[in-house]
Amino acid sequence: MSHATRRLPIVSLAILGLSIAACVPTTPSASPSTAAPSSTPSAAATATASPAAPGATVTPSPSTASVSCDLKPQTGQLPSDRLTGMQISRRRGVDLVRFQFSPGSLTPAGAPVGSLEVATPPFTEGASGLPIELQGDHALQLVFRHMSLQNDAGEETYEGASESRSDDPSRSLRHVVMFDESEGQIGWYIGYDGSACVTLGREGADVIVSIAFATGS
């Protein structure tokens, strides 16, 4: 079922205390990047840049040095092929998008994997091609593949919100919206403002996109 035919309620962003996987500052590439922040943030949270091992908890380590992070494509194995929920939270200068997974199918279509990369306009819904007005100066694309969109009883597996927005000036995260839910694939756009390092991480049965932004941004 595509995102175009399935509309779920928009929810406001909640602040929860969660552990995250952040990132290592990297040398900016020469090519333009819609998710690449400026090179003069005053501080950022740093940690491992690769997806954490299953069950691992990675916490940020604040740094006062000026850093710049270009997002490089990241991939990782998912906890299962059944996505059930999405939550937004914030902790110590890091905005988090947490995707929750339930036990997987008995016969999955393939190894479920997730990928995170820079998204470029135009932003559109997967099936209909209708435009999506993504909020934020920078854009990310997160795609889960080999997903089971229905449980064994034929009911939709994902029961969370398909879209969340924030106008809070103290946050970097602006917009999270599902753009595709069809043929074993679930796709999300994530929009944010300001200088930040972005990482795809894993914590138990959750997959987390962390946006570690500079203090004061």
pLDDT score at 17: 31
Task: Tell me what the mean pLDDT of segment 42-48 comes to.
Answer: 32
Alpha carbon distance 148, 184 (integer Å): 6
- Tens of pLDDT, residue by residue over 173-207, are 999 999 999 999 999 999 999 888 999 899 999 99
The share of the chain scoring above pLDDT 70, in percent, equals 67
Instruction: Please state, in angstroms and as integers, the Cα–Cα distance from residue 85 to each residue in 34, 60, 139, 208, following that order.
Output: 27, 24, 21, 12
The residue behind tokens 């998912």 is 78
User: Of 37, 105, 89, nearest to 208 (Cα)?
Assistant: 89
Say if CB 181 and CB 32 are below 8 A apart.
Answer: no
- The predicted pLDDT at position 73 comes to 92
- Please give the domain boundaries of the chain with CATH numbers for all domains: 3-8+47-213 (2.60.40.3500)
pLDDT digits (tens, 9 = 90+) for 74-106: 999 999 999 999 999 998 889 999 999 999 988
